[in-house]
Amino acid sequence: MKTLSEDPTLDEVRAYLAPIIPRHAAFDGWRAEAVTMAASEGRVDAEIAQLAFPGGAMDMIDAWFASIDAGMLEALPPEKLVTMSIRQRIVSLITARLTLLARDREALRRALAIMALPQNSVRAARLGWRAADVMWRAAGDHATDLNHYSKRLTLAGVYAATLLVFVDDESDDWADSRAFLDRRIEGVMRFERAKARWKGIGGGERLSLARFIGRLRYPAI
C-alpha cells in the first residue's frame, strides 16, 4: 500500500483510499460507510476522507477506476508493450485490468449497477471513454482524426461488454472472459479489414461512394 504524506491534499487522500474502498463496498455498498471503513484501515481521518468524495458513489467509483488505470500502466510499461502487436497490446491491457479488478468483483458488480442508473449514464460514459483512451495511448495510438474517436468508442464497448461477462465468470483463470474478449476483438478486426477493403480497392485506388452509386443507377453498357 502506498503511504500518505503528513499533510495530504484531498486529491492525495482520494487516490490513497481509492483501491481500499472496494474491499468495503463489496459488503457495505458504495456508500459513506465504505469510505469510513477504508479511512479506518488506511489510518485517515474519517471526516477528511468523506470530504474527498463529495459526489458519493460515483466519486468513489471514479477514483477506483483511476487507480486501475494507474495499476495497468505500471504492470505494462512501454518497454513491454513495444514488443507486441497492436492487437496483443489491447488484449494485454484489458487482461491487466481484469487482474486488478479480480479480487473486488462483488464491488465491481455493485459499481456497474450504479453506473447503469439513468442519472449516472453521462458520467459512466465518460469513465468508459477514459479507460479506452488510456489504453489506446498506452498502445501507442496518437491519432487526432476521426479514428481517434471511433477507436475509443469501439474499445469502450468491448471493455464494457467484457466486464459484464467477467463479474459472473467462475471459469478457471477467467477463461470464459478471455475467450469472450478474443471473440470481440476478432469481430472488430474483421470489421476493420472489411472497412479497409471498402476504402481501398486493388492497388490502393480509393472507392468514391458517389461514383459507386452512380454506377448502380447508370451501369456501363
| Residues 82-106 pLDDT 10s | 999 999 999 999 999 999 999 999 9
- Which residue, among 159, 174, 157, 154, has the nearest Cα to 105 in the 3D structure? 174
pTM: 0.85
pLDDT at 192 (0 to 100): 66
Half-sphere exposure of residue 182: CA atoms within 13 angstroms, side-chain side: 6
pLDDT in tens, 128-185: 999 999 999 999 998 888 888 999 999 999 999 999 999 999 999 999 999 999 999 9
Phi-psi group of 80: left, alpha or beta (phi > 0 → left; psi -120 to 50 → alpha; rest → beta): alpha
Mean pLDDT of 109-138: 97
> What domains, with CATH codes, occur in the chain?
1-54 (no CATH), 57-209 (1.10.357.10)
User: Backbone dihedral region of 204: left (phi > 0), alpha (psi from -120 to 50 degrees) or beta?
Assistant: left
